[in-house]
Structure 1
């Protein structure tokens, strides 16, 4: 089982590694759903993780809230994407939607170009897309060479255990073409149930390995 732990500062990176994390999602402001971490945090986290045979997925998101970003916010995301590429980040996680909650394909393609070959992961914006259109959206991610899609199987105000059928449906749609990563409410107590039902061997969360305590 590959455990991807989401952390919002460097102090929890060594704690996550010690607990058994193999991949870190590096973000800021988790209470807002995650935003882009600072350059300094990225540099030190990359150094530590690579020394301990772990990889880093960096969030590129200018603010919390919805995933409909204006032109200035998209420019900020592009600058951040280029910075992550220059720093040698292993993967980036991002997503942009239109006002009717479908992929903003023009904006996404600009960010894909800025990613410059880094692995790309679609964030939880996927769950905002109407379920009737999610298969088509998943096909688009495959076509654009995304490595993974992070999904809760529904909006975050739902319990992930109530979304297992939808999560399994997404796995079936993916058909091995793209990894489906369950997240949002996955923890040490329900991780095995979620991943077993879906037939996947990776999970994402802040508490996958229990409560982390940073060493001061």
Structure 2
């Protein structure tokens, strides 16, 4: 079981690793859902995580709010991806949508190209898509080499236990071609039962290890 701990400061990284996290997702400002951390934070986090033989994914999100980005914001995201790569990150997490609430395929292609050599996670922007668009996105992301999709399976205010059936649909459609990474409301107390219900080998959360 891979337990991915979502963290936003250095003490939280240390605690998560000590308590059994297998992978770190590094953010700043989790109160707004996470944004790109500073260069200094990324550098020190990568060093610590790699010294402990674990993996680290860096959140690439230039601001809070929606996932519809203009050209300047996308340039910032590309630069942040390249910075994370140069600093030695194992992976990056990002997502971009259109005003029509579809996957922004042009933007995603450019961001994916910038991330060459790193694993890529489509973050919870995925949950803003409607059902049919989610299925299309799974296929498109698979074809473009994205490794996993982080999803709550529904609105974030719903308990993840209420979204198990939808998550099973997504997993069936993904058919092991791309990983579906459940997150949001998964804790050290419930991750085993959720993983068993979904037959998944990785889980994500801010309280995945206590």
TM-score, normalising length: structure 2: 0.97
- Spell out the pairing of 1:46-195 with structure 2 (5 A cutoff): 46-195=46-195
1:8-64 deviation digits (Å, cap 9, x = unpaired): 011111111100001000000101001001111111111111111100000000011
User: Which residue in 2 is equivalent to 1:28?
Assistant: 28
State the secondary structure of the residue aligned to 2:35.
Answer: coil
Give me the whole-angstrom Cα distance separating, in 1, the residues matched to 2:157 and 2:208. 19
Give the match for residue 43 of structure 1: 43
Hey, what's the Cα distance between the residues in 2 that align with 1:66 and 1:161? 25
Root-mean-square deviation (CA, aligned residues, Å) is 0.9
1:162-187, CA deviations, whole angstroms, 9 ceiling, x for partnerless residues?
10000111111111111111001111
Q: Distance in 1 between matches of 2:114 and 2:2?
A: 28
The CA deviation at 1:132 is: 2.0
List alignment gaps of at least 5 residues for structure 1.
211-216
Matching residue of 2:200:
200
- Structure 1 stretches of 4+ with a deviation exceeding 6 A read none
Deviations, residues 44-96 of structure 1 (Å, cap 9, x unaligned): 11111111110000000001111111121111101101111111110000000
Distance 2:97 2:82 in 1: 20
What is the Cα deviation at residue 135 of structure 1? 1.2
Whole-Å separation in 2 of the counterparts to 1:86 and 1:208 = 28
Q: Which residue number corresponds to residue 214 of structure 1?
A: none
| In structure 2, distance between residues paired with 1:133 and 1:63 | 24
Q: CA deviation at 1:189?
A: 2.0
Of stretches 189-198 and 90-99 in structure 1, the one that deviates more from structure 2 is 189-198
Mapped partners of 1:55, 1:125: distance in 2: 22
Structure 2 regions of 5+ residues with no counterpart? none
